């Protein structure tokens, strides 16, 4: 999961952990664990967020199914 991109969309859509967890019907601690990568989002939760934020398929994939890549990871070894 790309946490930075998730948080960016959360802010863009004026959500925070409290509003999102209430809308999803889960505990705030549960959403925190999901955002921080300790627990995976369920497919139904991804669908809920996709619909709530009106995400495109690409945005959904970029957020939930792509790992973050650090600057160090992008260099090519000779």
DSSP result, 21-72 = HHHHTS-HHHHHHHHTTSSPPPHHHHHHHHHHHT--HHHHHHHHSS----TG
pTM above 0.85, yes or no: no
Determine the Cα–Cα distance for residues 75 and 56; give it in Å rounded to an integer: 29
Q: How many CA atoms, within 13 angstroms, populate the side-chain half-sphere of residue 74?
A: 5
- In the prediction, which pLDDT does 68 show? 60
The CATH architecture to which 3-66 belongs is Orthogonal Bundle (1.10)
> What is the full per-residue pLDDT of the chain (78 aa) written as tens digits?
999 999 999 999 999 999 999 999 999 999 999 999 899 999 999 999 999 999 999 999 999 998 765 444 444 444
| CA 15 from centre of chain | 12
């Amino acid at each position: 999961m790309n946490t930075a991109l998730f948080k960016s969309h959360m802010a863009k859509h004026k959500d925070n952990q409290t509003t999102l967890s209430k809308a999803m019907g889960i505990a705030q601690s549960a959403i925190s664990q999901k955002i921080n990568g300790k627990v995976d989002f369920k497919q139904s939760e991804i669908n809920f967020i996709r619909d709530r934020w009106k995400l495109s398929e690409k945005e959904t994939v970029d957020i939930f199914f792509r790992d973050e890549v650090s600057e160090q990871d992008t260099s090519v070894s000779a």
